[in-house]
Amino acid sequence: MAVPALPPHAQRALGGALLALLLASCGQGPSAEGFFPLAAGHRWEYDQRIEWENNTIEREPLVLSTEGREPVAGLDGGPAWRRRSASGVDYWLRSDDTGIYRVASKSDLDAAARPDAARRYVLKAPFAVGTNWQATTTAYLLRRRQEFPREIRHSHPAVPMSYTIEAVGEKITSRAGRFDNCLRVRGEAKVRVFADPVQGWRDLPLTTLEWYCHGVGLVRLERDEPAASTFLSGGKLVLELIAWH
């Protein structure tokens, strides 16, 4: 995709809220720790690429780091592990025998961490083909061509998405190297919007594919939000790991 850098509000939306789809837990069990390490000192660098339906391309780096385990004001249940995006978003995560889940988040506009009302699973146990769960998402790429605000996420902030572990033991290659023993997770949702006067109201698909590799974490994410409408535009986002330690 071509090169106008994402504006700051888009960085917060795509490099912030979208990360809720891919951030894992404290990793007290070996499986959780392996598929997304949270010990302090880790760092992941991603290439974030958006292909819009008007054939323009936007690219922006995304950097995540692990900051260690800490108490969170207003959060019950003891400390949680903090993961930070260089775009200014923090997440706190935990795990237990039910899986990996987020418990709080904070953007650079928030005065304090905002606890989640309920567990927001990232990976649900068992880490095996067929395991499924639900979490809310929104439309990160769909936007109106003329109306304001353009972004569909403002009118549809919490869309239920169904996630399924589709494969285990997959191999995947990125610019950071070749990785074995990866989970592939698919997320599917639909958002109902007015497409145009000809098509009327339509259920537009939101699809996510995520690859979590043992010992590394998230290696690749693909997000598809097609519009194919005269009133709306959509696109595809690809997040690719380019370096980590």
Mean pLDDT of the chain: 86
Task: Give the DSSP per-residue string, 183-242.
Answer: EEEEEEEEEEEEEETTTEEEEEEEEEEEEEETTTEEEEEEEEE---SSSEE-EEEEEEEE
Reply yes or no on whether the pLDDT at 5 is more than 50.
no
Q: Tell me which architecture the domain covering 8-244 has in CATH.
A: Beta Barrel (2.40)
pLDDT tens-digit series, residues 96-124: 888 888 999 999 889 999 999 888 998 89
On whether the CB atoms of residues 148 and 140 are closer than 8 A, the answer is no
- CA dist 162 and 55 (Å) reads 29
Reply yes or no on whether the pLDDT at 230 is more than 60.
yes
Map out the domains of the chain as residue ranges: 8-244
Q: What is the pLDDT of residue 21?
A: 43
- Residue 33, CA distances (Å) to 22, 52, 100, 162 in order: 14, 35, 10, 23
Q: What is the pLDDT of residue 141?
A: 95
Q: Could you tell me the two tokens for 2? A: 């071509």
- CA dist 112 and 105 (Å) reads 9
More confident residue, 194 or 237: 237
More confident residue, 239 or 33: 239
